[in-house]
Structures are given as structure tokens and as C-alpha cells.
Amino acid sequence: MNIGIVCYPTFGGSGVVATELGKALAQRGHRVHFITYSQPVRLDFFNENLFYHEVYVPAYPLFQFPPYELALTSKMVDIVQNEKLDVLHVHYAIPHASAAYMAKQILRTRGINIPVVTTLHGTDITLVGKDASYEPVVTFSINQSDGVTAVSADLKRETYAYFAIEKDIQVIPNFIDLSRFRKQNKSHFRAAIAPDGEKLLIHTSNFRSVKRVEDVLRIFAGVRAALPAKLLLVGDGPDRSRMEKLARDLNLQQDIRFLGKLEAVEEVLSVSDLFLMPSENESFGLAALEAMACEVPVVSTNAGGIPELNVHGVTGTVSAIGDVADMVKNALFILDDENLPRFKDAARARAEEFEIGQIVPMYEECYRSAIEAA
Ligand code: GMT
């Protein structure tokens, strides 16, 4: 197939899923055209089936808000028509699904019928999409899509609960490349960070309030009070400075390392013992899946779709949102040398159920149905 993928090109989960999907589709012989405002971060190599088309938004003094959606729509029209695409797959409803709808209408006037598949990733539904500023457009553009997918059963339920959706939503979970995300031997790195055999806890996120990074620090404080441990914080975002201050206020600055954004996150995951995900909302939890693939069990909340991934008492534990005391208790249980090996093994085994090769055919099937239905 000749497939167009529209996504955010950043480190965020939806952009990562879209890019990895496109790369896997290209390896399976499809031609994949990425349409976005900059080169996706994980699209950093040459493959004869992969193409990248940059959306350029011309500046004009009149525009207080440059109309990205219009430039994106025009680019989609151009690429669908000239590259003869069979399907457009847009990741994240806002504004990609509505831009795709407009592109579809323009192309119709040119005698071209392009099927559109929309994948809902989470915050486009649970946070931003619900806002009255966007809700009518989100509802309309989902209903106008030829195929709709959501990354968890919980996100599907939420979408039906908050929007008047008439379309069938197919659940296609996040996936993982197990050849990249596996435990690697990085003992020199571990020795540098935890020279006295301390346990290593880790959290990776975009440091937005929905991630409750403050709870990460408070869980770590509880664990640290009971045993020698270090905390690695990977990523960056609005809450980082506040968390750096909190680390000092808790007098834990010696035991907490802020590593910033990392390309090779699998290397730090490889030396970690426990992943913390105390999110307020999480449609799937790709970061937890990446950790599990590297044999790192997960202490999480029961938010959104996390329990569909993290099995309580098996691959980690699941607590109520904000219940820091319970997450401390669970973390100490998992970190006990008697329990840790079985949690690590189970985490990896669970991750193997989301191997990329098992999930990509679901998208291929979805494209075929959308092409038939359109
Ligand atoms: O987690 C984020 O804030 C980034 C966000 C995104 O849209 O890029 O991630 C969402 O999509 C990921 C991929 O489908 C999911 O694994 C994340 O759980 C989801 N984040 C939230 O629902 C908060």
C-alpha cells in the first residue's frame, strides 16, 4: 500500500508510535509518506520505502496564530494526489483528523476518494479534546473518519462516554520493538550511578501535570527511607524545575539524577530495577511497556488503560491515583530480593505480548477495511 502518516514529530508517545509504525510498514514493503512539520525524531535513517514531507507554514504579520492546519491540509492534498496514496493515517485527533477531513473534501472535487484512518492516543480525548473549544470538531472529524482506532479498551470507553460517536472504534494497543528494547549489559553505567549496590528506580515522561512527577519523588522518598536507592528521571517538561526544587526540599538531591531527554532510553532502563508511573491519566502507558521490555517491573496507578498492560501482582502493582503510601509499600515489596526476579521475568514476558510484529498486521487490516468501506 501507499500510506500517508500524519503525526506530531516529537518524543511524545503518539509521535513515537506513528514513527515506529511507519518504519515497520516500510520494512514490510509498503511505501510510507510522513507528513509533519519537522523530521520525526525516530526517523533518522534511510529506507527506500520511507519519505518525509515537511509542512511549511508561511509567516505573515497579520497571523497572530499561523494557520498550521491549513498548511497541513494543503500538503495532504498535494501528497495524496501526486504520490497516489491509498490511505491517510492520522495520529492524534487534534488537529490532524479535521485537517484530513478537509483534505478529503478537496480531493473529492478532484475526483479522488482518499480513506482516512484516525488513531486516538489519549490526551486528544481525555484532556484536550473534551474541552468545549475543541469538542464539536473532534466529534465531527472522528465520525467522518473511515476507520477509527484507540490504543486501549479504556480509551475506547472514554471516547464513547464523552463524545457522540457513531463509528465503530477498534482497539489496537501500543507495541514494542523487542530487538531494541531488551536488557543490555550496561554494568559500568550502573556501577557509576549506584556504586554501593543501591536499588535503581526510574521514571520517564514529559513532566506534565498529568504524570504526577511529584508523586514519583514522594514514592522515592518513602523507598529511600527504608533502603539505599537512587532515582533516575528521564525527560523534560513544564514541571521539571519544580521537581528539582522538591528534590532539594526533600534533601534527596544526592540520590536523584535528572537526565533530561534521552534518545537511547533503553540503556538506562537496562540498569533499572523499578519503573514508577503514578499518572493521573494514561491511555496506554508506552513508557511502562518500554520499561517492561527491558525487564523492569512497574509500580503504577490504575489510571486509564494502564491496568490493561501492568498486571497487578505479576508484572508490577496498580494503586489508586495519589495513593503514595500504597505505592511505597508496593515498591518495597517488589524490590525485595526474594520477589524482584519473578517480577522482572513477568514484566518481560508481558511485553512480548505487544511485540511490533503482532500489532502491525492489525493496522494493515484496518487500512484494507477503510479502503473497502470508503
Ligand atoms: O503521555 C503523553 O503525555 C504523550 C501522549 C501523546 O499523545 O503523545 O501519549 C499518549 O499516547 C501514547 C501512545 O499511544 C500512550 O502510550 C500514552 O499513554 C498517552 N498519554 C496519555 O494518555 C497521558
Q: What is the pLDDT of residues 180-236, one digit of tens each?
A: 999 998 889 999 999 999 999 999 999 999 999 999 999 999 999 999 999 999 999
Angle between helices 324-335 and 340-352 (to 10 degrees): 100
Type and span of the H or E element at 307:
none
Domain coverage including residue 8: 2-175+355-373
Nearest residue to 298 (alpha-carbon basis) of 363, 352, 343: 343
Is 330 or 131 the better-scoring residue by pLDDT? Answer: 330
Q: Exposure pattern of 152-168 as b/e (b: 16+ CB <10 Å)?
A: bebbbebbeeebebeee
**What CATH number is associated with residue 44?**
3.40.50.2000
89, 34: one domain: yes
Q: Which ligand 1 atom minimizes the distance to the CA of 279?
A: 23
Same domain, 23 and 171: yes
Q: How confident is the model at residue 43 (pLDDT cuts 50, 70, 90)?
A: confident
The Cα-based distances of 142 to 119, 136, 165 in angstroms read 9, 10, 7
Residue-level pLDDT at 11 = 65
61 Cα–ligand 1 center, Å? 34
Q: Does residue 181 lie within any of the structural domains?
A: no
Query: What is the structure's pLDDT at 312?
Result: 98
Total count of domains within the chain: 2
Q: Which value does ipTM take for this structure?
A: 0.96
Candidate from 123, 289, 310, 356 with most ligand 1 atoms within 8 A of CB, to mutate: 123
- Residue 157 alpha carbon to ligand 1 centre in Å: 16
pLDDT confidence band for 373 (50 / 70 / 90): confident
Q: Which of 282, 306, 354 to mutate to test the pocket of ligand 1 (most atoms within 8 A of CB)?
A: 282
- Is the CB–ligand 1 distance for residue 172 below 6 Å? no
Could you tell me if 342 and 365 lie in one domain?
no
213 and 288 housed in the same domain: yes
Q: Does residue 38 contact residue 16 with C-beta atoms inside 8 Å?
A: no
Q: In a mutational test of the pocket of ligand 1, which residue from 121, 207, 208, 362 has the highest number of ligand atoms less than 8 Å from its CB?
A: 121
Q: Which one-letter DSSP state was computed for residue 117? A: E
What's the first-to-final CA gap in the chain, in angstroms?
A: 15
Cell (9 digits) for 62: 497579520
Is residue 182 one of the residues assigned to a domain?
Answer: no
206 ligand 1 Cβ < 6 A = yes
**Average pLDDT score, the chain:** 95
Say whether pLDDT at 343 is over 70: yes
Q: Are residues 136 and 210 in the same domain?
A: no
State pTM to two decimals: 0.95
3-state secondary structure of 192: helix
Question: Is the same domain home to 101 and 238?
Answer: no
Q: Are residues 67 and 208 in the same domain?
A: no
180 belongs to a structural domain: no
pLDDT: is 123 or 238 the higher one? 238
Question: Quick check: CB of 55 below 6 Å from ligand 1?
Answer: no
Query: What is the pLDDT averaged over residues 277-292?
Result: 97
Contacts of 92 (CB under 8 A, 6+ apart): 7, 8, 14, 119, 120, 121, 124
SS3 355: strand
Q: pLDDT tens across 114-173, in order?
A: 999 999 998 888 777 778 889 999 999 999 999 999 999 999 999 999 999 999 999 999
| Dist. CA 120 → ligand 1 center (Å) | 10
User: Taking residues 312-341, what's their average pLDDT?
Assistant: 98
Indicate whether 291 belongs to any domain: yes
Q: What is the mean pLDDT of residues 26-43?
A: 92
Asked if residue 216 belongs to a domain, the reply is yes
What does 125-182 look like in DSSP terms, one character per residue? Answer: HHTTTTSTTTHHHHHHHHHH-SEEEESSHHHHHHHHHHS---S-EEE----B-TTTSS
- C-alpha distances in Å from residue 165, one per residue of 151, 158, 293: 16, 11, 34
373's grid cell: 468501506
Residue 266 belongs to some domain of the structure: yes
Question: Domain check: are 314 and 332 in the same one?
Answer: yes
C-alpha cell at position 116: 482516512
C-alpha cell at position 126? 481525555
Do residues 42 and 104 share a domain?
yes
The CA–CA distances, whole Å, from 243 to 141, 169, 246, 372 equal 38, 38, 5, 50
Q: Is there a contact between 69 and 84 (Cβ–Cβ < 8 Å)?
A: no
What mean pLDDT comes out for the span 48-59? 94
Percent of the chain with pLDDT over 70: 99
User: Domain check: are 264 and 282 in the same one?
Assistant: yes
Banded pLDDT at 374 (limits 50, 70, 90): confident
Interval between CA 325 and ligand 1 midpoint (Å): 26
Q: Which candidate, 328, 202, 212, places its Cα nearest to that of 280?
A: 212
How far apart, in Å, are the Cα atoms of 325 and each of 280, 320, 331?
16, 10, 10
Same domain, 220 and 159: no
Are residue 152 and residue 166 in the same domain, yes or no? yes
